[in-house]
Amino acid sequence: LRPAAAATRVLVESDAAAGVETVDGGQVRAPIVVNALSARQAFLDCVGPALLDVGFQSAVAEERPRYASAQVRLALDGAPGDERTRANMSRRLVYAPSKEELADAYGAARRGGVGSPLILEAVFPSMFDRHAAPERGQVVSLLAHPVALLEEPPAEFRAAVERAVRETFERIAPGAGRRIVSADVRLPADLAKPLGAPVCAFAGAASVLPAWSRARALTGASGVAGYFFCGPEAQIGAGLSGAAGRRAAEAAVRHHRKKLRS
């Protein structure tokens, strides 16, 4: 285990992994290499285009829309005035815009911005735990989608997310906007930083079938024996998960056993 030895290149000999070259010019020889960087880094940078099939390079270079969800918590100085909302505060409330509004929201996210209204899920934790909010107050936790997935979101973007969430929440709970006293916006960059995780790990899930097809291609078709990939693109769905790493480890074990039998 060499925690301070960053690998910069995968050594490939006779179409098989032979180890890695470290940033200081040294080498670590190994018949199995597992890479958890992004697909571009793992294949185009660490292996190099010259050793990859053209079709595989296209799969690596394919850019997926960078959508994400924002977590927002609003503090209210009392229950919303709308009777229908008050009657359902112990439930999970979901708001879905019209098809046209949703198309506009995804278009804005694709361009790196925020549309309004958004898809919004709302839960009132203070309905289940009175200590979650001041006396006579309420706290609502919201999940808003889609917003652009940014590595370093500027203050203007954060403000735009809060504004869009406030506007959409008003559709769930008419009149509740007047009761909002504070808002806390958590974007993927905020969630990734304390975990030391890449922001792309919090990308919104693509359709399952295309995501599965691409993940399968990236994890099994590089043409370099003994080289296994478990980066963000190998993850199907959103959020952090060890599934991609486990699949890579299992594939590496199968590869090793097959070599022992041959």
Q: What residue segments make up the domains of the chain, in order of their start?
A: 7-63+206-261, 67-194
> And the tokens for 236?
């199907």
Confidence (pLDDT) at 212: 58
Closest CA to 225 of 186, 251, 203: 251
The percent helix, strand, coil of the chain (3-state, each to 5) is: 40, 25, 35
Confidence (pLDDT) at 237: 55
Contact 165, 73 (CB under 8 A): no
Residues 6+ apart with CB under 8 A from 262: none
Confidence (pLDDT) at 221: 67
> And the tokens for 155?
């203050």
Confidence (pLDDT) at 21: 94
Alpha carbon separation from 177 to 101, 170, 182, 196, 213 (Å, rounded): 21, 6, 11, 35, 43
Contact 82, 172 (CB under 8 A): no
| Strands (E) located in 173-226 | 180-186
Q: How far apart are the first and last CA of the chain?
A: 29
Confidence (pLDDT) at 38: 84
Contact 102, 131 (CB under 8 A): no
**Residues of the chain where predicted confidence (pLDDT) is lower than 50:** 207-209
